[in-house]
Amino acid sequence: MTLKVRFAPSPTGHLHVGNARMALVNFLYARSAGGTFLLRVDDTDQERSKPEYEQGIKDALTWLGLNWDEEEHQSARMARYEEVFEDLKAKGFVYDCYDTPEELEYMRKRLRSRGKAPIYDRSALDLSDADKEKLKAEGREAHWRFKLPEDDIEWTDLVQGDKKFLAANLADPVIRRADGTFLYMMPSAIDDIDMNVTHVLRGEDHVSNTAVQIAMFKVLNDNKFPEFAHLPLLSGTEGEKLSKRIGSLSLADLQEDGLEAMAINSLLAHLGTSENIEATNDLDELIKSFDIASFGRGTPKFDSKELDRLNSKLIHEMDWATASARLDIKDADEAFWEAVRPNLSRLNDAKDWAATVYGKVTPIIEDADFAAQALAVLPEGDWDQDTWKIWTTAVKEATGCKGKQLFMPLRQALTGMDHGPELKVLLPLIGREKAVARLKGEAA
């Protein structure tokens, strides 16, 4: 059977780096094995699911280059879930419960006080038809649980190794609410079976869910279930939960901030692995080097500074043909790009330097006499990268200034800033006419 993975986001919010990492890992695994990458939109929560969130997730995946082969929506499969549910009910694998949230909480507290696992005691199985009718008459509506087997549940995880859950520590999961809507567990298992998913790669926060779903797979799919890999969740640099910082780490925000998609891919593909984190602009390179066995069990830390480093490296290696197609800066040419590229951390920062070179700049003149002396020895004729050295040597002789006292006033006068690209490459681009005006203190 062809390897098949799925990325199954719920369209209830923006895609953030944690989920983007799982999407990327699934994509790379599928592509490296010649398999299929399925996008399954888990939109059973009709109240919280929004079309704009789904579109945002798709836009983010497309921006990252994670093109999917197939697409499914759980909201279109309700009849299938109903069919399976009725079959399970007829075979005695699900049962109706009438406990209130307050009664369930009391039950859990009582079990904890006795040092026992706070799992459901299956008291609903003892209800007679008369008992159920009485509860219904009180206004109670049934929710439904899947009856787990008495056997312990085991599997070999591709990242976590051998896993075992004791049956005594697992509660029969609620699979259907009193209002008739289905919870995550059962539809997900049904979809994985119907859609021929062979491998499920997801966060380690789903490990206990996997134990329950394996029990469902065994009932629904003749004891067959996919292979599983549970990756440790990302944390912040101090080990804090990344969820506390999600607002600043959505893919839409990172894109708006000017980060390169491949900088994000380069980082997320290697976080938690034994591989060195290096910037690459080639998604195929990440595909060829992908190895699920390289992921460890330690908590990987997401560092925005590392992301900035990778982003800068990609910008510094970007050629003019690529940059020009994206920048759309009037009058800019390859010489301009070569001049400013080493100074950029974001591609759009080049527009600021275009304004310095081609637009008007309000110069900073703190010493008018120094500026006048510099202007007096400003070279004539055509300028090239040697002009800066010739000029500064002459200014040094005229003023007696050197080092920062020499270079900073010239930079501030010519660019209106105290930092930026090397002036030996910037000066010829600015040109003599603008340089003269700026040294006179004029906006030019």
pLDDT at 116: 85
pLDDT tens, 353-382? 999 999 999 999 999 999 999 999 999 999
User: What average pLDDT score do residues 290-309 get?
Assistant: 95
The mean pLDDT value of the chain amounts to 94
Provide the whole-model pTM: 0.91
User: What average pLDDT score do residues 91-120 get?
Assistant: 92
368-439 topology per CATH: Arc Repressor Mutant, subunit A (1.10.10)
For residue 247, pLDDT beyond 90: no
User: What average pLDDT score do residues 169-175 get?
Assistant: 95
User: What average pLDDT score do residues 174-188 get?
Assistant: 95
pLDDT at 239: 82
User: What average pLDDT score do residues 75-99 get?
Assistant: 97
pLDDT at 241: 82
pLDDT tens, 211-220? 999 999 999 9
- Least confident residue range of 242-256, 304-318, 323-337: 242-256
Q: Report percent pLDDT > 70 for the chain.
A: 99
For residue 279, pLDDT beyond 80: yes
**Band of residue 11 on the pLDDT scale cut at 50, 70, 90:** very high
Rounded distance, CA 425 to CA 78, Å? 64
Residue 217: which of 168, 167, 159, 155 has the closest Cα? 155
Domain boundaries, the chain: 1-72+232-317, 80-176, 320-358, 368-439
For residue 248, pLDDT beyond 90: no
User: What average pLDDT score do residues 97-126 get?
Assistant: 91
Q: Which CATH superfamily is domain 1-72+232-317 in?
A: HUPs (3.40.50.620)
Looking at domain 80-176, its CATH architecture is Alpha-Beta Complex (3.90)
pLDDT tens, 225-244? 999 999 999 998 888 887 65
User: What average pLDDT score do residues 394-415 get?
Assistant: 94
pLDDT at 392: 95
